[in-house]
Structure 1
């Protein structure tokens, strides 16, 4: 029997140094999506893909989410791991998202290395697709995947944000 899908989520707006973040949470206080206000249409599309039709109602995100996000943006980089999140996706996507959390702040990995770590060495493109479908960016640090040559590659929130996040964390990469 499939798990019952939520009928609604709560939507809050959270100011960061790189724009207004959209925080989508469920009734249990888990983060279901983190995206940016200038990419709100894409966020709605991803939510529909993962959960079907569900309403977004205005509501405050729990302090267990906003407090660690504030700390992260203030420089306490380890706080992201304390945020409870939940996301629908394929088994492979969930494996990628879990493995992304093993990349420490200040470090990066490439799509090919991530594929090898997942014991799927020929799946670099699939890793990239799963990375791009990550609904809880920043918290699940998809920004830490870069090109094999150290260059920045796509990021749903925009390459400027990816560059800022990596610089904020002290990571080495080729600047655009």
Structure 2
């Protein structure tokens, strides 16, 4: 049996409680590959089935794997206000093309406590008229929070959309000091 081949395709996952609800984290040997919001049993099963189909490996629950343990530690620090940047290897295999280009620029070029407009981000990747395409890339982000799509807002000051829901986006922006804390 070729255990090395299995290790190469191994996908591990864990669910972690956060200030915005439970997140499912999944990783491959290359890095964190997926973060999923609002994890219920049904959401978890759907996410794991999708990962299995896309990555060709049955995900295994393993919160003690070194990469997941480190991701959990860094997320806990982030939600406690003690971490402003994630230092994790990322596996970009769930996203490609323009979407990957936009998300890489977002990850490296929009620091904690700042926001960028959809159009501005489009301009940074050479598509100044691509604000809607940037919006689609944000919606396709397989690594929310770690790749901070919550920091992308409308140029007129509107909060914009968010796959995790607007309340979650507001909480993340408040955590980073961009918005005031919600009153209730």
- TM-score interval w.r.t. the shorter chain? 0.7 to 0.9
Structure 1 CA distance for aligned equivalents of residues 157 and 18 of structure 2: 26
Alignment RMSD (CA, Å): 2.5
Question: What TM-score results when the alignment is normalised by the length of structure 1?
Answer: 0.83
Give the aligned partner of residue 91 of structure 1.
97
Which residue, 82, 85, 105 being the options, matches 1:76? 82
| Structure 2 Cα separation of the partners of residues 33 and 18 of structure 1 | 16
Structure 2 gap ranges (5+): none
Which has a greater percent of strand?
Answer: 1
Q: Which of the two has higher C-alpha Rg?
A: 2
* 1:167 CA drift (Å): 0.5
**4+ runs deviating over 3 angstroms:** 4-8, 38-49
Aligned-pair distance for 1:43? 3.8
CA-CA distance at 1:48 after TM superposition: 6.5
Aligned to 2:15: 13
Ranges in structure 1 where 5+ consecutive residues have no aligned partner: none
1:151 and 1:42 map into 2 onto residues whose CA distance is 31
Q: Is the 8 A contact 2:52 2:59 kept in 1?
A: no
C-alpha distance after superposition, 1:116-152 (max 9, x if no partner): 1111111111111111111010000011001111212
**Secondary structure of the corresponding residue to residue 77 of structure 1:** coil
